[in-house]
Amino acid sequence: GFDIGKLRTETGLVTLDSGYGNTAAYKSAITYLDGEGGVLRYRGYPIEQLAERGTFLETAYLLIHGELPTVDQQASFKDEITRHTLLHEDVKRFYDGFPRDAHPMAMLSSVVSALSTFYQDSHNPFDEEQRHLSTIRLLAKLPTIAAYAYKKAIGHPVVYPRNDLGYVENFLRMTFSVPAAEYELDPVVVNALDKLLILHADHEQNCSTSTVRLVGSSQANMFASISAGINALWGPLHGGANQSVLEMLQGIQASGSDVATFIRKVKDKEDGVKLMGFGHRVYKNFDPRAKIIKAAAHDVLSALGKSDELLDIALRLEEHALSDDYFVERKLYPNVDFYTGLIYRAMGFPTSMFTVLFALGRLPGWIAQWHEMIKEPGSRIGRPRQIYTGVVEREYVPIESR
Ligand code: ACO
């Protein structure tokens, strides 16, 4: 028996909203999302236009500062980021301590958290200069941290950043170049990765962004807050879905590429099997990012001269699902993660790096939302309520009498 009267507080009635399906925790002027219409806009700019004509760095600037940069603003933003891409040499020792098969997302969140020990001069969330410094440091260093994680996994020496290169170029070179060999950047890969990062850059109050805000609401520093967001992103129901999708496609391939049997398992909820990369809490029509990415998957694979049987399996899965009542009734459509893995794979990334690429893209969104929260007048610590379902009260029993 529980007492409904207990749910009343001085501020009103406490409502139970599982998974926060209908609860807005914040007001935000950053990203507009209309799930029924399949609309996504950053600061009012349609995602389609930004992906087609923008760059990742200007999108990052837009999200964080609210406006697209002028030529001068863009140049100084890029210049500042470029000057912070190096990691302190001692940071490398963290990688020595990780086992070689460590998941790169674990390395990413640990090293980002550790940055707070190296940069203790930028912890104060109420100091504008310090906030700016943390922002630049994180944007500049996350690609280096990610590339080091990859090098650790394959047992290669790290490659230092090169300041004459662009943001994405630098990351690709730190990841894929090896000593004593020329590394040639492929413009198809550079442009495709830049576009994918734009498409991932923000998505209002998703699990990782809400985590960043919640941790930040205790006035924890930006490194601590973003590190928590990286961990939230790692889960297979969120950013980790891009890795799970590829593993699912490989599993179907290994078992004879029978898409219909797999779909049947999903519908029967056999062992909790889901069609990974499908469904979304907010999009109930289509995910505008998935539309762009599906087209990009075709373009990138053909430009790189790669054919992939997994793409064929993915296309057949989508076709089956979209004409099946189970998926139609539940409004389940491909989300951002369904086709990204195929592109990353064609670019040469191992599956374990896929969610890291998502994190690189989402970083400006996390930062922008952290700033917005901290600057909001009257911003309060995040503190959800609960509906208590345990025993109401009982007497303590000494251990010998239990
Ligand atoms: N495959 C099969 N069934 C599904 C799927 C799926 N991918 N997604 C949802 N369903 C079913 C659920 O089983 C449920 O069915 P029921 O009513 O018979 O119980 C119904 O659809 C509603 O699903 P919920 O789990 O209530 O939806 P919710 O909004 O809580 O979850 C989520 C959204 C987590 C994205 C879910 O669709 C899912 O698990 N998808 C697969 C993982 C994935 O692709 N995640 C990436 C999301 S996008 C991102 O974070 C970048």
Torsion-angle region of residue 206: left (phi > 0), alpha (psi -120 to 50) or beta?
A: beta
Torsion-angle region of residue 67: left (phi > 0), alpha (psi -120 to 50) or beta?
A: beta
Confidence of residue 307 (pLDDT cuts 50, 70, 90): confident
pLDDT tens for 123-171 read 999 999 999 999 999 999 999 999 999 999 999 999 999 999 999 999 9
Catalytic residues: 280, 337
Confidence of residue 264 (pLDDT cuts 50, 70, 90): very high
154 within ligand 1 shell (Cβ under 6 A): no
DSSP class per residue in 221-268? -HHHHHHHHHHHHHSTTTTTHHHHHHHHHHHHHHTT--HHHHHHHHHT
Name the residue among 45, 336, 39, 30 with its Cα closest to residue 196.
336
Rounded to whole angstroms, the maximal C-alpha distance in the chain is 77
275 within ligand 1 shell (Cβ under 6 A): yes
239 within ligand 1 shell (Cβ under 6 A): yes
User: What would the two tokens of residue 307 be?
Assistant: 């054919």
What is the distance between the alpha carbons of residues 4 and 334, in angstroms, rounded to a whole number? 41
Q: What is the pLDDT of residue 66?
A: 98
289 within ligand 1 shell (Cβ under 6 A): no
Kindly tell me if the per-residue pLDDT of 326 is higher than 70: yes
pLDDT tens for 237-252 read 999 999 999 999 999 9
The residue whose two tokens read 């069609």 is 275
Kindly tell me if the per-residue pLDDT of 288 is higher than 90: yes
Kindly tell me if the per-residue pLDDT of 3 is higher than 70: no
What is the distance between the alpha carbons of residues 334 and 90, in angstroms, rounded to a whole number? 42
Of the listed ranges 12-16, 76-80, 89-93, the least confidently predicted one is 12-16
Kindly tell me if the per-residue pLDDT of 13 is higher than 90: no
Torsion over CA of 206, 345, 256 and 241, rounded to 10 degrees? Answer: -10
Say what percent of the chain tops pLDDT 70.
97
Confidence of residue 12 (pLDDT cuts 50, 70, 90): confident
72 Cβ contact list (under 8 Å, min separation 6): none
Length of the chain: 402
Kindly tell me if the per-residue pLDDT of 369 is higher than 70: yes
290 within ligand 1 shell (Cβ under 6 A): no
Name the residue among 206, 76, 214, 222 with its Cα closest to residue 141.
222
Average pLDDT over residues 33-42: 94
Ligand 1 atom nearest to CA at 207: 50
Specify whether the CB–CB gap between 147 and 174 falls below 8 A: yes
Ligand 1 atom nearest to CA at 326: 3
Residue 225 CA to ligand 1 center (angstroms) comes to: 26
In testing the pocket of ligand 1, which one of 47, 244, 275, 280 has its CB within 8 Å of the most ligand atoms?
280
User: What would the two tokens of residue 379 be?
Assistant: 């911003």
What is the distance between the alpha carbons of residues 252 and 258, in angstroms, rounded to a whole number? 7
Torsion-angle region of residue 399: left (phi > 0), alpha (psi -120 to 50) or beta?
A: alpha
Q: What is the pLDDT of residue 7?
A: 66
Confidence of residue 8 (pLDDT cuts 50, 70, 90): low
Of the listed ranges 176-190, 238-252, 366-380, the least confidently predicted one is 176-190
For residue 131, the one-letter residue type is R
Q: Whose CA is nearest to atom 39 of ligand 1?
A: 237
DSSP for residue 5: G
Q: Whose CA is nearest to atom 41 of ligand 1?
A: 276
Confidence of residue 93 (pLDDT cuts 50, 70, 90): very high
CA distances to 1, 30, 60, 141, 221 from 138, in Å = 50, 19, 12, 5, 12
CA atoms within 13 A on the CB side of 359: 33
CA atoms within 13 A on the CB side of 20: 11
Specify whether the CB–CB gap between 208 and 238 falls below 8 A: yes
Rounded (10°) angle between helices 128-154 and 167-176? 30
Q: What is the pLDDT of residue 9?
A: 66
DSSP for residue 88: P
Residue 113 CA to ligand 1 center (angstroms) comes to: 30
CA atoms within 13 A on the CB side of 117: 9
Kindly tell me if the per-residue pLDDT of 365 is higher than 70: yes
Kindly tell me if the per-residue pLDDT of 4 is higher than 80: no
ipTM: 0.97
Q: What is the pLDDT of residue 2?
A: 47
Residue 83 CA to ligand 1 center (angstroms) comes to: 42
Ligand 1 atom nearest to CA at 281: 29
DSSP class per residue in 39-87? EEEETTEEHHHHHHH--HHHHHHHHHHSS---HHHHHHHHHHHHTT-PP
